[in-house]
Chain A
Amino acid sequence: DVKVTQSSRYLVKRTGEKVFLECVQDMDHENMFWYRQDPGLGLRLIYFSYDVKMKEKGDIPEGYSVSREKKERFSLILESASTNQTSMYLCASSLPGQSNTEAFFGQGTRLTVV
């Protein structure tokens, strides 16, 4: 079974803090993704990576950065947390290729910025 593990289920941080969200997958997947989920907006892609040290912006990258130093680990960084970054953050991984359609998700991190 594919396992995608996010380091924290719940986080509370102060405005202006630098926040690190960690994600690890154990199935040697090339692709990794960070989404945020907000009511009425669905899942929106923040950043993704298709290989070690490779990263691309998604639809809402402002205020975020990412790091992928190892294949199994993809970190999301909030450079200076703001209250509008309060959200559910979801990490996912997948294999590239035509027949590999499914992305596997972690359990999510509920971040509250106060």
Chain B
Amino acid sequence: DQQVKQNSPSLSVQEGRISILNCDYTNSMFDYFLWYKKYPAEGPTFLISISSIKDKNEDGRFTVFLNKSAKHLSLHIVPSQPGDSAVYFCAARLIQGAQKLVFGQGTRLTINP
């Protein structure tokens, strides 16, 4: 049962435009949501997170929005740059236990010049 879902396997955006990556979740027992970026043959690197009690968090070109009623979050990248081309994973942290992260399937973002 996939608790965190990224329904778009890939996304192509022109350089300079906005990239919007989406993520849905089903479990209400998450206290934080995170986005990770992954290049081929490397481990994921943390991008940005948001607490379940917030609806927006911004860090430079990256903004994450959380809609709790819809159980949906999105990552906005503005403006998109060629170096943003990577696989992006949405993750949710469980409140209990060792606070393990549950990941989505990932979305491959390609920024076209």
Are the C-beta atoms of B98 and A108 separated by less than 8 Å? Answer: no
Cβ of B105 < 8 Å from any Cβ of A? yes
Query: What total of chain A residues lie within 8 Å of the partner, measured CB to CB?
Result: 30
Given A101-B32, A101-B93: A90 in contact with B44 (beta carbons within 8 A): yes
Is B34 touching A108 in the complex (CB atoms < 8 A)? Answer: no
Q: Is the CB of A107 within 8 A of B49?
A: no
Name the contact of A42 in the complex, choosing from B42, B93, B105 (C-beta under 8 A).
Answer: B105
Please report the C-alpha to C-alpha distance between residue A54 and residue B45 in the assembled complex, in whole angstroms.
26
**Interfacial chain A residues near B25, Cβ < 8 Å:** none
The CA of A61 and the CA of B12, in the complex, are separated in Å by 35
- Are B101 and A103 touching (Cβ within 8 A)? yes
Q: Name B56-102 residues within 8 Å CB distance of A.
A: 89, 91, 93, 97-102
Pair B100/A33 contact, Cβ less than 8 Å: yes
The answer, yes or no, to whether B113 is at the interface (CB within 8 Å) is no
With the chains together, A63 CA to B93 CA distance in Å? 25
Interface segment, one of A11-19, A44-52, A64-72: A44-52
Interface residues of A (CB under 8 A from B): 4, 9, 31, 33, 35, 40-45, 48-50, 56, 58, 90, 92, 94, 96, 98, 101-108, 110
| 21 residue pairs bridging A and B, Cβ less than 8 Å apart | A9-B41, A33-B100, A42-B104, A42-B106, A43-B103, A45-B101, A45-B102, A48-B98, A50-B97, A56-B97, A56-B98, A98-B31, A101-B34, A102-B34, A102-B46, A103-B46, A103-B101, A104-B46, A105-B36, A105-B43, A107-B43
- The interface of chain B, by Cβ under 8 A from chain A, is 4, 6, 9, 31-32, 34, 36, 41-46, 49, 89, 91, 93, 97-106
